[in-house]
Amino acid sequence: MPALHPTIIVGGGIAGLMCARSLTQAGHDVVLYEREIEVGGRVRTTVRDGFRLDHGFQVLFSAYPVLTAALDLPALQLREFRPAAMLARPGHKPAVIGDALADLSLLWPTIVAPQLSILDKLRMLQLRYLATSLSFDECFASRYDSRSTLEFLRQRGFTTNAITNFFAPFYGGILLDRSLQSSASVLLYTFKMLAEGRTTVPANGMGAIAIQIAGALPAGSVRTGVGVRSVVASGGTVQGVMLESGEMVPASHVVLACDPPAIARLAATASVHVAVPDASLGCTTVYLRSRAPLLAGSALWLNPATDATVSHAITISNVAPSYAPAGESLTAATVLGAAAELPDDVLMRHVRGDLVAMSGNVGAGVAEHLQTWRVPYSQFVQRPGSVSRRVSVATGVSGLVVASEACHSSSLEGAARSGVAAAEVVLHECQPMQMSASRYAARSAARS
């Protein structure tokens, strides 16, 4: 009997790594190809001059059910953000809005914060109760997914002041859409994650998540710096992949776990149409170094100004001191929308100006620019009705499977869930092959 070929996974982001993890745990041979020189996709960390620079501002919600269950959290040495936000409208004194149920010290500062009315703060508590009363999957029910975040908030009675001062900069930063046109489901599951767990980063940077998952895979199963040119199929069945080097590698299954546009392109080489999301959102993260922290505390600073360049910012080394060398500080400022595409010199001028206006710290105006990460495809657009437009994990072609956040939600958890789901499809399709192999072996034994 000829040996069964391994499953090939194209893409070493969270979706691909989680798929590889699930398959290897089930005893299947896997080869994962990643075009970049390291795994992680958008979840990577570069060390420069002793600073840990995540590729875009990202966090790990400790309440993510599927992803965190796969991780050794103590080994990541998670560092926690304060469960609060600093509302820093230029020209006004910053105010704290926090989750007093998670940190009692936030109760009085939140009550007296003038940026939100008492009624809006009570509505926030009611929203917290709603989100935590739902299961993760219930957050994506049609009654929520059919409405935009903005419509949902208005229907729940939030004032324009609350939406402008808090939700637009805070959840707009999470959704990468300050207009709040994203599905209300995304707001709810994010609110649930914030309320039920902690917002964290690993001590060694977000890239440590991908490195940990990859490190548990069999030696030689992850091959970086290797691109895949096309999927090879014959008679409606996948045969393998063609590498950019021109080498054809046979496979029993091919899992496309790259970004959605690449998934569509590679699937088309096998004459398969995958209807990936047709729009995306990008963001730019600017890192600045300084001797003293530019922003106080370990809560996210929000810029409610309607003409904001910096949507939100934080001195990330206040959260995780390991992100900066001893005696130095690292600040991350995130820029969304059209401002994210400004030329470097114009962008830096606006970023420094916003940080000074938000904090009153003139040191931000002369802080050294360390790195700018531009991520054109940070999330796919999650408009109302996104659940009904989710990409199917199965393609209808034998042996070709998709693992992508586009199969669920644009988040680390969405990517993790799709990777596990893709592995389940592969395992299901392999059952008949395994049964045939067992029968072949039994007949061979009988003949001998």
Average pLDDT over residues 275-292: 95
pLDDT digits (tens, 9 = 90+) for 85-128: 999 987 788 999 999 999 999 999 999 999 899 999 999 999 99
Q: Where exactly are the structural domains of the chain?
A: 7-43+206-276+386-447, 45-115+198-205+280-380, 116-195
Residue 434 has pLDDT above 90, yes or no: no
What average pLDDT is seen over the chain? 93
Where are the strands (E) in 121-193, listed by range? none
Residue 136 has pLDDT above 90, yes or no: yes
Instruction: Identify whether the C-beta of residue 79 lies closer than 8 Å to the C-beta of residue 66.
Output: no
Take residue 308 and report the two structure tokens written for it.
């904001």
How many Å apart are CA 330 and CA 132, to the nearest integer?
Answer: 33
Backbone angles phi, psi at 400, to 5 degrees: -110, 120
Q: What pLDDT does residue 437 have?
A: 40
Q: What SS3 string covers 373-399?
A: EEEEEEEECCCCCCHHHCCCCECCCEC
Residue 444 has pLDDT above 80, yes or no: no
The string over 384-396, giving b where at least 16 C-beta atoms fall within 10 Å of a residue's C-beta and e elsewhere, is bebbeebbebbbe
Take residue 218 and report the two structure tokens written for it.
């069999």
Q: What pLDDT does residue 432 have?
A: 56
For the chain, the distance separating the N- and C-terminal CA atoms, rounded to the nearest angstrom, is 14
pLDDT digits (tens, 9 = 90+) for 45-71: 999 999 999 998 899 999 999 999 999
Q: Are strands 30-34 and 222-224 parallel, antiparallel or unpaired?
A: parallel
Among 346, 356, 410, residue whose Cα is nearest residue 378: 410
What CA–CA distances, in Å, run from 410 to 166, 179, 185?
22, 17, 12
Residue 180 has pLDDT above 90, yes or no: yes
Cβ-proximal residues to 240 (8 Å cutoff; 6+ apart), any chain: 5, 8, 231, 232, 248, 249, 250, 251, 254
Take residue 39 and report the two structure tokens written for it.
């795994």
Which CATH code fits 45-115+198-205+280-380? 3.90.660.20
How many CB atoms are closer than 10 A to CB 243?
Answer: 17
pLDDT digits (tens, 9 = 90+) for 396-420: 899 999 999 999 999 999 999 999 9
* Global pTM exceeds 0.85: yes
Lowest mean pLDDT, pick from 22-26, 381-385, 438-442:
438-442
Residue 292 has pLDDT above 50, yes or no: yes
Q: Which superfamily does 7-43+206-276+386-447 belong to?
A: FAD/NAD(P)-binding domain (3.50.50.60)
Average pLDDT over residues 14-19: 98
